[in-house]
Every structure is written in structure tokens, then in C-alpha cells.
Amino acid sequence: MSIATKTGDGGTTRLVDGERVSKGIPRVEAYGTIDELIAQIGFARAVCAHGEAGRIARAIQRELFGVSESVATRGGPLKTVASAQIDALTDHVHRIEQEPGILRDWSIPGDHLGGAAFDVARTVCRRAERLVVRLRDEGEAVDASVVIYLNRLADLLWLLGRLVERDAGVHTALREPGASGTRWSKAWP
């Protein structure tokens, strides 16, 4: 047995429900982007020595395999995202955003490797979310909870980046100290 089956050499693949489709269709792009997200979160974990962020990230990676499975079928989702999974992400978001110094400002990625890696993961997550929404908008069968999960996950990934940076003592705020301007979000005081 080999993973090189050669069945995809012509540019097709099988969905979870067994249907053979082009690798270029939007559904394959959507679940392929979730696969990319899993890998990017793994990279963030690998370059970040932050224990809490790493534990949360690893649990999310495991969950994303199920999210991907849900997107990888046209015949209706074989696996759905449980409301408890969304609630757990929301709980992490609410807990982390209450930490002192987390919601100071938007951040400029790049001053800390781990924080930047979580920022890249967030942007991949937002792309996956847009692709799943596009599937839904085009009338394809999509588990509605996948969109909610990815939306919440992107928020959490942003916060994990800020948590990692804050705990490393790195200042990545968009504005210089004392500068004012639009905060763009009700989350900031």
C-alpha cells in the first residue's frame, strides 16, 4: 500500500462521500485551505514555546480534521461541528480578551515569531471561512456551524498571537504609545 495511488494524476480527487471531482472545484479549495490551516497552526505551535497557546492550538488542529471532513462532501455533512466546540472557542476568546494588555490596539505582525505565526494562521482561517461562505452562497450543502466555528477560530488565533507577544514582553501595537485614532472595534475601551 502506498499513499501514491496515482488516481489523482489526472487532476481529480474523491470527496469523503466517494464522489470523484476536479481538484479545482471550490469545495476542494475550501477543505484544502482548512488542511493548510491545520499545518499553519502546527507551524505556530512549533515556533512558539508558550504552553497555553500550544495546548489550545493542538486541540484545535484535532478538531479541524472533523471540520474539513464536514466540508469535503456534497451529500451533506458526514460530521458536523458541535455547538460545544464553538462554545469552547468562545470561552477561550472571552477569557483571553479579559487578560490585561491583550486588547490595547490592533497589532503589526512580525516582531515575535510565534505571534506572527498565529497571525498567518488567522489569515488562512479567514480565507477558509470566505471559501466556505462562498460555497454556501452558491447553493452548495454546507454545515452552517462550520462558518461559525471558523469565524470564532479566527478571533481566537488573533488573541493567541497577542497573548504570546504580551507574555514575551513584545510591543506590537499599531499605534505608538499616546497616539489616538479610531479603534475600529467595540472590543477596545
The span from the CA of 147 to the CA of 151, in Å, is 6
pLDDT 10s digits, 24-41: 889 999 999 999 999 999
> At the topology level of CATH, where does 23-167 sit?
Hypothetical Protein Ta1238; Chain: A; (1.20.1200)
pLDDT at 154: 98
pLDDT at 110: 79
Query: Residue 179 — pLDDT band, cuts 50, 70, 90?
Result: low
pLDDT at 107: 78
pLDDT at 77: 59
Contact between 175 and 128 under an 8 Å Cβ cutoff? The reply is no
What average pLDDT does the segment 97-107 reach? 80
Q: Where are the domains of the chain?
A: 23-167
Look-up: residue for cell 480565507?
127
Q: What percent of the chain has pLDDT over 70?
A: 87
What average pLDDT does the segment 96-104 reach? 83
pLDDT 10s digits, 110-145: 789 999 999 999 999 999 999 999 999 999 989 999
Query: Residue 83 — pLDDT band, cuts 50, 70, 90?
Result: very high
Cβ within 8 Å of residue 170, ≥6 positions away: 111, 112, 115
Query: Residue 109 — pLDDT band, cuts 50, 70, 90?
Result: confident
Cβ within 8 Å of residue 44, ≥6 positions away: 53, 57, 114, 117, 118, 120, 121, 160
pLDDT at 46: 96
The C-alpha angle 73, 76, 77, rounded to 5 degrees, equals: 70
Query: Residue 89 — pLDDT band, cuts 50, 70, 90?
Result: very high
